[in-house]
Amino acid sequence: MAWLLFGVLIILFLINIPVAVALGLASMIVLMVQDNVPLMVVVQKMFNSTDSFTLMAVPFFILAGKLMETGGISKRLMNFAGSLVGNLHGGLAMVSIVTCMFFAAVSGSAAATTAAVGSILIPAMVKKGYDKSFSTAIQAAGGTIGVMIPPSVPLILFGVIAGASIGDLFIAGIMPGIFVGISLIIVAYIISRKRGYGKEEKSSIKEIAISFKDAILALLMPIIILGGIYGGIFTPTEGSVVAVVYGLIVGLFIYKEIKWKDLPEIFISSGVTSAVILFIISCASIFGFILTREQIPQQMTDTMLGITTNAIMILLIMNIILLIVGTFLETSAAIVILAPILVPIASAAGIDLVHFGVVMVVNLAIGMITPPVGINLFVASNIAKIRLEHIVRAIVPFLIILIVDVLILSFMPSISLFLLDK
Amino acid sequence: MVVKNVIDTINKTVKWVVIILFFLMVIAVFLQVIFRFIVDQPLAWTEELSRYLLIWLTFLGTGYGMSMKAHPSIEFLYEKVGNTMKKGFIILSTALILFFFWQIIVNSFEFIGRSMTQTSPVLQLPMGLVYTVIPISSVLFVINLLQVSVAEWRRGASQ
């Protein structure tokens, strides 16, 4: 049955059926072949899996990110980042990554981070004489931090599927996000230095203070949300709605960059983005049901432990699987398909669940900057109006450093876990 | 032309329904936060209502999203094959997706029928009513799928 399930799934994927429908249909076909399960169970599973208060954090964080993107927050974050690192070699390249790190703290998505920061910084970099493909590549790479630094939609999905605490996963994502950000800055610095990209003017303390004051409302938000969630004041879902209301107030009344008439567009585009992700979850629940019934995760665990019981080897093998899958499967789909299979293996090998969640998300984020389905590449090349083929070469150094990063993060659990006192 | 106008009107209506549901969801959960912390009187209905709003948002958004091809698929083989193969893919995938939603619709009626007498714990809504979003959205998905597939087919034919 496992072969039938995966065989049908791959065929459906290849003939261009949407990932969600392919998951549902492959599972439905298996149930029909088995002939002893009423198909009503499909409808029931699809319904029950979305009937979840925890999952509501997904649409809210997506909406909050969209509000921040439209509400003038990215511009202010950029100015603040500029006053901090603009005077280094390749100043604007540094600025774009630091801005991505700031923006990641208000947004849960990598594509949104790339779009928000890239739409300002790619044109700015090109104007200052930076190579267009380099400017686009750096933005696509920087955007991956969006899913590492909390809030993070993929971490929420992992938490829901693996039964891990979303609050813990969020905290565990902070240091890896900063770590990846710094590594990207180093690569961008080396490249800029070699190509002789210029520096921006050094900001005086006074200018830093002014840009900080301008950006403070944006910088304060993650502190309120994460502090609230981790301090046990509210649940991640309640925190996400606070983020929405915060974004609305700042965008509508303080920065005044969102007009009332913009709101329907913001709501519908966030609504559709969320529905697409939640529909994948919904269809994947039938898939998960069959995996469990057929005891596929246990069989996979036994097979894996038969090959090796060494946790480092197991983590390495899983990393390779994730890297490959991440290149052709969209992140939320990869999580809902792979987490039910890999999590039991990880726990059998004694790997911490929260640590594994972070490794999985960082690893799949690499898939966002690799063709054929690198969402960040699409977003960034759309903004820059440059063909995808032309950034592929410029992305290679960033791809290499991200792979090195994910290996370091895998084998040094303390980077993700030390903020949790584990 | 008439068909296209009807489909556009349906999608436009659904779009506004999704916007309103999403907005109500924000209000419901925010009220929950306010009433627990500021008024110190937790509300009983907000969690249940917001969960049902999320379900409706998810399924209606799924059907509406099909009109703009928002659902990710693995396109690399489709993009590599020639025109005749492409058409074969379109027919096969459309037929299979139709089959999927047909099964969902048929089975959801049975599911809804069984749960009409069952009511939700706080709001006392018949659960069958909440479940009706599944067949409604499935029909919407199918309508949009057919329109998108026909457009893809024609684009292939004109190349």
- Residue A327: closest C-alpha in chain B: B74
Cβ-based contacts of A272 with chain B (< 8 Å): 18, 61, 64-65, 68, 70
DSSP string, A41-103: HHHHHHHHHH--TGGGHHHHHHHHHHHHHHTTHHHHHHHHHHHHHTTSTTHHHHHHHHHHHHH
**A-B interface: how many C-beta pairs under 8 angstroms?**
173
Does A155 score more than 70 pLDDT? Answer: yes
* Pairwise CA distance, residues A75 & A77, whole Å: 5
Residue keyed to tokens 């949009």:
B144
pLDDT band at A264 (very low <50, low <70, confident <90, very high): very high
The pLDDT score that the predictor gives to residue B157 is 66
pLDDT band at A85 (very low <50, low <70, confident <90, very high): confident
Say if CB A345 and CB A301 are below 8 A apart.
Answer: yes
Say if CB B134 and CB A47 are below 8 A apart.
Answer: yes
CB contact under 8 A, B19 and A271: yes
User: Shortest CB distance from B100 goes to which of A25, A50, A270?
Assistant: A25
Say if CB A126 and CB A305 are below 8 A apart.
Answer: no
Residue keyed to tokens 């493909």:
A133
Cβ-based contacts of A22 with chain B (< 8 Å): 73
Those residues with Cβ within 8 angstroms of residue A109's Cβ, 6 or more apart along the chain or in another chain: A61, A62, A65, A146, A147, A153, A273
- What is the arithmetic mean of pLDDT over A200-224? 86
The pLDDT score that the predictor gives to residue A43 is 92
- Residue B92: closest C-alpha in chain A: A15
Check if the interface score ipTM surpasses 0.90: yes
User: Shortest CB distance from A56 goes to which of B29, B65, B131?
Assistant: B29
Cβ-based contacts of B121 with chain A (< 8 Å): none
The pLDDT score that the predictor gives to residue A422 is 58
Shortest alpha-carbon distance between residue A240 and chain B (Å): 10
Which residues 31-90 of B have a C-beta within 8 angstroms of A?
Answer: 32-33, 37, 47, 50-52, 54-55, 57-62, 64-65, 68, 70-78, 89
Residue B134, chain A, CB below 8 Å: the answer is yes
User: Shortest CB distance from A271 goes to which of B50, B61, B74?
Assistant: B61
Calculate what percentage of chain A has a pLDDT beyond 90. 65
Structure tokens at A300: 């996979």
Structure tokens at A384: 């820059």
Cβ-based contacts of B128 with chain A (< 8 Å): none
Q: Where are the beta strands (DSSP E) in B60-157?
A: none
Residue B73: what are its φ and ψ, rounded to 5°? -140, 170
User: Shortest CB distance from B61 goes to which of A14, A237, A274?
Assistant: A274
Interface test with A, best of B71, B98, B102 (most A CBs within 10 A): B71
Instruction: Compute the residue count for chain B.
Output: 159
Residues B52-81 have pLDDT tens digits of 999 999 999 999 999 999 999 888 888 888
The pLDDT score that the predictor gives to residue B159 is 58
* Pairwise CA distance, residues A156 & A33, whole Å: 34
